[in-house]
Structure formats: C-alpha cells, structure tokens
Amino acid sequence: MSLVEVEHLVKHFGRDTGLFRGGTRVAAVDDVSFSIDQGETFGLVGESGSGKTTTGRCMLRLIEPTSGAVRFRGENVLEFSRSRLRRARRDMQIVFQDPYSSLNPRMRARKIVEEPLVIHELGSRAERRDRVAELFRLVGLSPAHLDRFPHEFSGGQRQRIGLARALALNPSFVILDEPVSALDVSIQAQVVNLLMDLQRQLTLTYLFIAHDLRLVEHICTRVAVMYLGRIVEIGPAASLFAAPQHPYTRALLSAIPVPDPDASRQRIVLDPASINRNAVLKEIAAGHFAAV
Amino acid sequence: MEPLLRVERLTTVFDLPGGALPAVNDVTFEIQPGETLGLVGESGSGKSVTALSIMRLVQPPGRVAGGRIVFKGQDLLTLDERRMREVRGAGISLIFQEPMTALNPVFSVGDQVAEALIVHGRVSRREARAAVIELLRAVRMPNPESRIADYPHQLSGGQRQRVMIAIALACRPSLVIADEPTTALDVTIQAQILDLLRDMKSQFNLALLLITHDLGVVAEIADRVAVMYAGRIVETGPVRAIFRHPQHPYTRGLLASIPGGAPGQRLKAIDGAVPLLNALPPGCAFNPRCPDRFEPCTTEPPPDYAVGPDQTAKCYLHSPQVGADRRVRPGADPAVGADPSVGADTSVGPYPS
C-alpha cells in the first residue's frame, strides 16, 4: 500500500519581473509523480540540478511547491493548515546531507536531539532525558557523549546525531538526502548498515536521495531517475539497473567508475538530441516506466 | 630506469601547541615517466599534504621535517625558491579539487591560462591569445575563441576543471599532481574529465599522481596504487594486484565496504573511525580497527614487507616469522566482519585543522 503519493508536483523558481526585465522562471521540478510503498526504500537519483533535493523538500513543505499534490496516508499535505502540517511533520522527517552544517554548533548533542520533542511538547523533562539517551543508543552513539558539542564528533557520528534527531518523534517516513556522501569511505558503510538496521527495527519507509548509484542499487527497492526536473525513468531497482531504457539512465550508469581494473568500460555519451523532452512515461516491463 | 619522481622517507609535521603532528610519516614512493600512481586514502590520511610537500607549498604551522623529494635527479628540498618556482608549472603542476575556488573570480579564464605561459616566458603577450585558444581546444573546451573572455562563474563545473587542466598543462610539465580532480563533479562529467586526463597523458607523455578516495576512479586510470592511512603508505603495488590480492587488512576492508553483492545485505564496514593524529594508537595505526590484529601490532609500527611482485604491505601478517595460516582467514574473504552499530566511531575530539 502506498504511504506517500506525489502527483504532478511542480516547483518553479523565479525572479520577479522588474521595471526593465521580464521575470525568469526555472522549473526545478516539472510534473513529477511517484508513490512510495509502506516499508520500502525508494531511490531518487540524478545529478546536481536535476531537482531531486527540491522534490524531497517540497514533500515536507520545507519549500512550498508551485502546484501538485503530496498525499501522505491519503491526505494532501499541501492543503494542510500550519498547525495540521506541524502535527504531520512528526510522522515525516528528513536527514540532511552535510553533518557539518546541519547541526547547530552552539548546541550540545543532547539539546539537538531533544529539540523536536520540546517543539512538539512531548513528555516531561525526565521523559525527554530518557528518550534522548535511548535515541543515542539506538543510533550507536555512547550516552556518555550527550553533553558534547557537534565539533567534538567525527563526521559519521554527526550523521548519527542527525539521524537520532530525525527519529526522535517516531516518524514512519524519513527522507534521507545524500546521507552518506559527505562521509569517508570506511564510515559510509557503517552508516548505511545502521540505516538498514533501523528500517527493519522501526519499520521505516525511506526516500533515499543520492547520486551514488552503486549504493542506490544496493539498498533501494525502487528507483526514479531525474533529469532536468523530470522523472525520465522509474521502476524496480533490479530491472532498472539491469536494463536501463532512457538514454540518460544509460549514460549515467555507464559513467559509474567500476572498482575493477579489468572491467570493460563502454562509456555511453549522452547526446542531448536523443532526448525527447515531450515523451511520456511508458511501461516497458512490469512496473518499469521510461520516457522514451 | 631512473624514476621521474622519488619521494624518500618524507615526513611532514604540523607544529601545534600540543607538539608536532606527523601528517605525512616516513613516506616513500616512486613514479616512473608516463606512469599513473593512484594515491588513495580517507580524509586526514595525509594524501593532500604529500602533494603539497612535493610542490613545497606546505604552509606554517606545517613543515617538511625530513626526507628527500628527488625529481629528475634533483632534490627539490634543496632548491632555492627561485629555482623551485621554475619546477612548479614547468616541471610539476597541480590540479586542485575545487575548480571554483582554485580559479580567480575576477580574471577571465583566458587571462588565467595566459598567466601561466607568460610567467614562465613561454610566449610573449602578443602570442598568448593563440596559445591559450590552442590549449583550451586541447582540453576540448567548446568554442574556445569566445570562451577565453568568460569569467569562472560563467562556466560549468566540468568546464572549470578543463580550464584548470589547461593551466596545468600550459608549460608542458612531465608530472601532474591531481588532487581529487573529479570529486566535486557529477558522475557523467567525472567520466569526461577522466577520459580527458587519460588522453592528455598519452598526448603529452605525462606522469600523473592522482589523489583520490574513490577506488572506482583508481581502477579506471591508475597503473600503480599506494594506500595511505594515518600518514603512512600501508600498501603499494600494481593496480591489478591491489584489487585482486590486497594484502593489508585496511586495503581489504576498503574494497570490501564498496556496495555490491546481494541487494539489501549489510555492507562489510570497517569498524571504528580513522584515528586523530594527536591520538594515534601505539604500533600499527590501524590496529584498533583491524580484524587480524595480534600481539606485535600494538607495540611497534610494522615495516614494509614484500608481499608480491612490486607489492609491499606494512603488516605483521607478512612477517617471515608469522605462519601462512594466519594470513588467510577462513573463507578467504577480504571482508572485515565487524558490527558497525556496536562501538562504532570510538575516537572523538576536536580535529587538528
């Protein structure tokens, strides 16, 4: 069953018209639709500027979309009042890419993780204290470090703090926006394992926004590929990676460096002329659609 | 054959209030003419400081504390600053990671490429324009005639990196050091830049020292690989040997942690975190994270052991006194089967900048 449905989502960024110039408008997200099933990890991939982060932020209304609908458990989040939206956000959270800039450097780790509980007025002081310690253990941090400041943690640990904060309100849906790309190689695998463990333990549904296609192939059940604000291909990870249909997906997959000196490298260079911007998504295999 | 560059027992330290921290610790390697050496490591492993040391661009409180850097038979550490300036650009040039910050935003890209040529007396100001256009064409910049008037912010990330490569190649160096040249780029642009570097290498007969954390990039372009950890080169060898038969537990762990295998399976992570330079464990710096640790690892840092043709590893597993049974773990899987959710990232503390 679908937990989240995104329908015809559009976000224009524009500059207002001035006295001497017309307004300019960029469609960062251009008619994007997809749905995410309960318990799945849905991958949203694309290069910088493709609109994947904007899509994620529009879904939580961290950015107000221009039009479209985002249904969460059947209700359109975009029609929620401020107070209704605040309540809804208990259930839908986000972990940001950069663990260095997404934690307030002046707050102790304890406060950072506690803040969502305070804002949503949950629990007494003592209950919050216990909950924060529990969250610390949940993400593999030592409760002995609760009173440290962010700079006293390594990158991997900071991302664990960001994750603890996101999980504080017991959400069912978490947007992971490039959660490991700022981390060192040996730490990435630790955090990925933690994400997979937590998903099983807490029955979480993930939207995983990433550009690391090897990782997406490994952890996602279904994947959508974005290019210039649109989804050009979407389908089960196994089918999409084994038989990519859209020219952009093919070019993208062929560009991944293979960690094997003997791998044959047949690079497919994208010819922008080969992309039909007006093509609509067509089903080419079970559940696998491409705009070709 | 005489190597083009031989770095011999290089040690670069940072003098901080708490003492001298060895960012590069007794590092030795060679690069042959035309060869590509991939220098792999995580942040803080010392790979960028190694590059800066070779160029003699380490800024205080950092300083080269020992060793030799022999380039074309000459120890760069003994040159006066004027002679060293001739080596930079004309002998060895450097490509930085972030092309937006490495280029000067207030000069056109044409001026910046021309500067390299004029400073080294390669061309007169009058000839510079044609030479710059030719260089930009060599790095496959579209419409070089009109692009030379553009400023860095008008170019895409990939085009900026092409300009950086043009500057690096302007004075026909025999060695280019590229420090994470594609890390800031999208994967399709990364592929183009790697192809370009490969072409430039054969066209100009360049040797390349490629610094990266991406093992995929190394597999694509390197002839030989050196793996750095906590300031030391822990394993070095031909690219095929490193990927097929890694001998140091850290190299094995890095390769095993790459996503792959059955979807949804836990990844084989390396436990713990990279140690801080002011809190290095005694003995082998990797020992607290090492699944193969045994008695000698916690006392003395291991020396280099020959582990194959042209392959060495700093690991006591390969000491002649150690039985062969210890070297091959059951299953012969290079994986490091630690549980990352338990006791992960144990080292904390402010990072030395």
CB contact under 8 A, B345 and A154: yes
Burial of A201 (0-12, 13-18, 19+ CB in 10 A): exposed
* Exposure class string for A67-89: b at 16+ Cβ within 10 A, else e: ebbbbbbeeebbebeeeeeeebb
Average pLDDT (B192-216) is 92
Contact B209, B178 (CB under 8 A): yes
Rounded distance between C-alpha atoms, residue B152 and residue B134, angstroms: 19
Comparing CB atoms, the residue among A154, A256, A263 nearest residue B273 is: A154
| Residue B58 scores a pLDDT above 80 | yes
Comparing CB atoms, the residue among A47, A152, A238 nearest residue B188 is: A47
The shortest C-alpha distance from A241 to chain B (Å) reads 12
* Beta bridge pairs of residue B74: B71
**What pLDDT score does A101 carry?**
87
pLDDT in tens, B84-104: 999 999 999 999 887 778 899
SS3 B8: strand
Q: Is the dihedral of CA A249, A252, A256, A262 positive or negative?
A: positive
Chain A residues 136-155 with a CB less than 8 Å from chain B? 140-141, 145, 148, 151-154
Model ipTM value:
0.88
Task: Please report which confidence band the pLDDT of residue B344 belongs to, taking 50, 70 and 90 as the band edges.
Answer: very low
Residues from chain A that touch B214, judged by Cβ atoms under 8 A, are 185, 257
* Exposure class string for B32-69: b at 16+ Cβ within 10 A, else e: bebbbbbbbbbbbbbbbbbbbbbbbebeeebebbebeb
Task: Please report which confidence band the pLDDT of residue B184 belongs to, taking 50, 70 and 90 as the band edges.
Answer: confident
How far is the first Cα of chain B from the last one, in angstroms, to the nearest whole number? 39
pLDDT above 90 covers a percentage of chain A that reads 78
Tokens coding B135 = 């260089």
All domains of chain B, ordered by start, with CATH?
A: 5-222 (3.40.50.300), 228-328 (no CATH)
DSSP state of B123: S
**Full DSSP string of B205-219:** T-EEEEEES-HHHHH
Q: Which residue has the higher pLDDT, A131 or B99?
A: A131
The phi and psi torsions of A12 (rounded to 5 degrees) equal -100, 135
CB contact under 8 A, B274 and A262: no
The phi and psi torsions of B132 (rounded to 5 degrees) equal -65, -45
Residue A156 at interface with chain B, using a CB cutoff of 8 Å? yes
* Beta bridge pairs of residue B178: B95, B210
Mean pLDDT of chain B: 89
Residues 6 or more apart whose Cβ sits within 8 Å of residue B74: none
Chain B residues 255-274 with a CB less than 8 Å from chain A? 255, 257-261, 263-271, 273-274
pLDDT in tens, A137-178: 999 999 999 999 999 998 889 999 999 999 999 999 999 999
Contact B56, B33 (CB under 8 A): no
CA A204 to centroid of chain Cα atoms: 13
Count of Cβ atoms closer than 10 Å to residue A125 Cβ: 8
**What pLDDT score does A17 carry?**
64
**What pLDDT score does A157 carry?**
92
Tokens coding B87 = 């080596």
Nearest-Cα residue of chain B relative to residue A270: B188
Tokens coding B48 = 């960028």
Task: Please report which confidence band the pLDDT of residue A22 belongs to, taking 50, 70 and 90 as the band edges.
Answer: low
Q: What beta strand segments (E) does A51-202 contain?
A: 67-72, 75-76, 92-95, 173-177
3-state secondary structure B260-279: CCCCCCCCCCCCCCCCCHHH
Test mutation, B194, B244, B267, chain A, max A CBs within 10 A? B267
Average pLDDT (B209-233) is 95
**What pLDDT score does B338 carry?**
37
| Whole-number Cα distances in Å, A215 to A186, A218, A265, B84, B341 | 14, 5, 20, 44, 19
Which H or E run contains A213? Answer: helix A213-219
How many Cα atoms are found within 13 Å in the side-chain-facing hemisphere of B282?
5
What is the DSSP pairing of strand B5-16 with strand B305-308?
A: unpaired
Residues from chain A that touch B257, judged by Cβ atoms under 8 A, are 185-186, 188-189
| Residue B340 scores a pLDDT above 50 | no
Task: Please report which confidence band the pLDDT of residue A114 belongs to, taking 50, 70 and 90 as the band edges.
Answer: very high
**What pLDDT score does B339 carry?**
38
**What pLDDT score does B80 carry?**
96
Average pLDDT (A60-75) is 96
Residues 6 or more apart whose Cβ sits within 8 Å of residue B17: none
Mean pLDDT of chain A: 92
Site of tokens 């006066």: B80
Residue spans of alpha helices (H) in A18-124: 52-59, 82-88, 109-119
Whole-structure pTM over 0.80, yes or no?
Answer: yes
DSSP state of A38: T
Rounded distance between C-alpha atoms, residue A209 and residue A38, angstroms: 17
| Residue B204 scores a pLDDT above 80 | yes
Tokens coding B81 = 């600053």
| Whole-number Cα distances in Å, A204 to A92, A130, A195, B137, B277 | 10, 22, 10, 51, 38
What is the DSSP pairing of strand A24-37 with strand A205-210?
A: unpaired
Residue spans of alpha helices (H) in chain B: 47-54, 81-90, 99-102, 109-119, 125-138, 144-147, 157-169, 187-204, 215-221, 239-244, 249-256, 324-327
DSSP state of A76: E
| Residue B322 scores a pLDDT above 60 | yes
pLDDT above 70 covers a percentage of chain B that reads 91
Rounded distance between C-alpha atoms, residue A101 and residue B65, angstroms: 35
Site of tokens 């901080």: B16
